Amino acid sequence: MAKSSSSKKKQQQQLSAWRFLFGGCLGGAGGAGGSGGNKVRPGPRTTTTATARHALSPAPSSSPAAAGLQQRLSVTDVMSTCSDQDLSVSLVGSNLHVFTVGDLKAATQGFVDSNFLGEGGFGPVYKGAVAEGAKPGLRAQQIAVKLWDPEGTQGHKEWLSEVIFLGQLRHPNLVKLVGYCSEEEHRLLVYEYMPKGSLENHLFKKFPPVLSWSTRLNIAVGAAKGLAFLHDAEKPVIYRDFKTSNILLNPDYEAKLSDFGLAKDGPEGDDTHVSTRVMGTHGYAAPEYILTGHLTAKSDVYSFGVVLLEILSGRRAVDKTRPSREQHLVEYMRSWLKDPQKLGRVMDPDLEGKYSTVAAHKAALVAYQCLSGSPKNRPDMSKVVEDLEPLLTVTDDAPGELPAAAPEDVKKERAKRRDGDRREKGRQDKAARSPKRAVPRRRAPGRSQEFWEWKA
C-alpha cells in the first residue's frame, strides 16, 4: 500500500513539473487543436529557459528509457489535472533540450532556403547542425527543425502532443525528438536528422534509385514495429496519422515514425475506444473511424494496410491523375490481394519482377487482413510484425509456384504512370502560368496529401 502511495505521489510530482512547464501553453490551447478557422494560438510563455531545462532533465535511473515508459504521463493527465508547481522532482525518461529561437536560427543559418527540407501541416522544416557542447549533454549532430506556421492545418495542441509523447517514448523505430523551443509566440520542434527523407519521396517522387523489394519489406517491418510498440505500451498510444510521408528513413533505410501531433492516448481499463473528432489524411483513415469518431488501435492497423499496399504497388492511396475507378487504391486493389493469380497486377512494375513472389503474396495477404472493413477481423500490430518479419529471409521461390507479372501488364501500368505524370505536370504548369493565382508556397510531400477534419 505504501509503495502504491509513493508511486502515485511521484507521478503527481512529475505531472506538476509538466503542468508548470506548459501551464501558460495549455491556457492557450483550451480549444480544439489548429484546424480550419479555429486555429489554436500559443499562449504566453510562463517559464524561463533555465526552469524548463530543469523540469525536463533526466532523473537518475539505471534504465531511464524503461522507467519513462513505465511511468509515462498521458496527454490527458497533463491537460486535465491541476496540482502545485513543485519542480523538485525531475521527469523520468525525459531528456529533451530546450532551445531558444536564436539557437535554432544559428543552427539553420537563419532558416536559409538552401536548408529547406519541406513543409507539412504544422509548418516548414529546415536542416541544421549543432556543435559539441552547444547544450549541456548534447553531442554534435545534424538536426531537423520544424517551425509552427500559424496559417497551417495544425497548431499549438499538436506541438504539445509531440513534446509529451516523444519526450517520454524511446524506440528504434520512432524518430528521436532532440528538443523544442517555446519562446513567446514561437513553437519549434527539433528532431534527429533523417538523411534519406520520407518513404513517400522514395515511392512516388522518383528519387533514385528505385527502392528494392528487400528495402521495401524492411521498411514495412520497421514501421510495423514502431506501431506495435505504441499499441503495446502500458499506456497505449494510437498514432492516428500513419502514412508514407510520416515514415522517415535513416542512412540504412530503416523506418522511423515521425509527427505525433495527432497521436492520442489509447483506451484503458474497460474502455473499448477513444471518442474524438475525426482528423487524418484522405485514403488512410479507417472507415469506422470516419463514420463514428471511435478511435482504436485497429484504426492504425487499417492505415498500416494502406501503406503496405502502397509499398507493394508503388501507387498512392489517392491519385486524382488516374481514371476515376482507379483513384482510390484500396477500393481498386483490395480484392486482388488474396488472389495469387492477380499478384502481378498489384506489384510495382518498377521492381521489374525482382522480388520473391512467395514473400510478396504473403505480404499482400497481411495487407488484405489489415484492410478488413471489420476492425475485429484485423490483426494486432504485434501479429503483423510476426507475419512480416520472417519474409525478410525469403529470397527464392519454387519454380512455377506463383505467376509473375505478365510483360504486357507491366507495359500497360508503366504507360498509365507516364500519362498520369504528364497530366499532373500539365496541371502544375497551367497553375504556374495563371495570372490570377498567387505564387504557390513550397509544400512538402505531407501537404501533397489532403489533410482533413470531418465535421457533423
What is the domain partition of the chain in residue ranges? 10-192, 199-415+449-453
Residues 335-361: b if buried by 16+ CB within 10 A, e if exposed: ebbeebebbbbbbbbbbeeebbbbbbb
Grid cell, residue 182, equals: 517555446
One of 77, 103, 149, 241 is an active-site residue; which one? 241
Q: What is the pLDDT of residues 154-212, one digit of tens each?
A: 667 778 878 888 888 889 999 999 998 988 888 899 999 999 999 999 999 877 889 99
Q: Are 98 and 54 in contact (CB under 8 A)?
A: no
| pLDDT, tens digit (0-9, with 9 covering 90-100), for 19-54 | 444 444 443 333 333 433 333 333 333 333 333 333
Q: What integer pLDDT is reported at residue 135 of this predicted model? A: 87
Please name the fold of domain 10-192.
Answer: Phosphorylase Kinase; domain 1 (3.30.200)
Measured in degrees and rounded to the nearest 5, phi and psi for residue 299 equal -65, -40
Active-site residue, 232 included = no
For residue 103, name the pLDDT band (cuts at 50, 70, 90).
Answer: very high
Of residues 194, 191, 262, the one with CA closest to residue 222: 194
Query: Pick from 240, 242, 258, 237: which is nearest to 194 by CA?
Result: 258
Would you say the CATH fold of 199-415+449-453 matches that of 10-192?
no
Q: What is the pLDDT of residue 47?
A: 37
**Cα 218-334-363 angle, rounded to 5 deg:** 25
Angle of helix 357-370 relative to helix 297-313, nearest 10 degrees, comes to 150
Q: What is the pLDDT of residue 198?
A: 94
CB atoms within 10 A of CB 320: 13
Cα 273 to chain centroid, rounded: 21
Q: Would you call 141 helix, strand, or coil by DSSP? A: strand
Which of 8-12, 176-180, 259-263 is most confident?
Answer: 176-180
* C-alpha grid cell, residue 372: 478488413
By the 8 A CB rule, do 452 and 282 touch?
yes
What pLDDT is recorded for position 250? 95
Q: Which CATH architecture has domain 199-415+449-453?
A: Orthogonal Bundle (1.10)
Among candidates 257, 362, 357, 240, which has minimal Cα distance to 303? 240
Which of the four pLDDT bands, split at 50, 70 and 90, describes residue 96?
confident
